[in-house]
Amino acid sequence: MAAGGGTTTKIGIALVALLVMVALAADGAAAQACGSTFFSALVQLMPCRPAVTPFSPAPPSEACCNALKTLGRPCLCLLINGPPISGVDRNIAKELPAKCTVNYDPCS
């Protein structure tokens, strides 16, 4: 019975190791999704502020579109889906990629 118990222990250890590896891989993929924090991404997109204000937004500037391209879709989605941002219309922000002719899939 000691041999059977050893095999069960080895299988249990292998299973735990596999679960840890899967968790680390998933965590790494999430970290690669947006290399910036919410605040850092927000600061990088400050040139877009006039283009996402409610009521009378300005067309996005070249600086805004360049910032959007540099930051990338994952970080834009982080901002759109994150906490509310005073003075920012999220629906207008979702339109930035099209207005900047950046081919991003919509944020979910």
Domain count, the chain: 2
Q: Which among 94, 37, 29 is positioned nearest to 68, based on CA atoms? A: 94
**Residues 51 and 9 both lie in one domain:** no
Same domain, 72 and 45: yes
Checking if the pLDDT of 33 tops 60, the result is: yes
Query: Are 73 and 107 spatial neighbours (Cβ–Cβ below 8 Å)?
Result: yes
Q: What is the mean pLDDT of residues 64-69?
A: 96
Q: Are residues 21 and 69 in the same domain?
A: no
Give the residue numbers spanning the domain of 8. 1-33
Residues 40 and 26 in one domain: no
**Coil, helix or strand at residue 78:** helix
Whether residues 68 and 56 share a domain: the answer is yes
Higher-pLDDT residue of 50, 3: 50
Average pLDDT over residues 2-29: 41
Query: For residue 26, is pLDDT > 90?
Result: no
More confident residue, 75 or 16: 75
Q: What is the mean pLDDT of the chain?
A: 78
40 and 83 belong to one structural domain: yes
Q: In 3D, which of 65, 79, 66, 67 has the Cα closest to residue 34?
A: 79
Q: Are residues 44 and 97 in the same domain?
A: yes
Determine the average pLDDT of the residues in 38-63. 95
Residues 66 and 43 grouped into a single domain: yes
Query: Based on the domain organization, do 84 and 96 belong to the same domain?
Result: yes
Same domain, 27 and 45: no
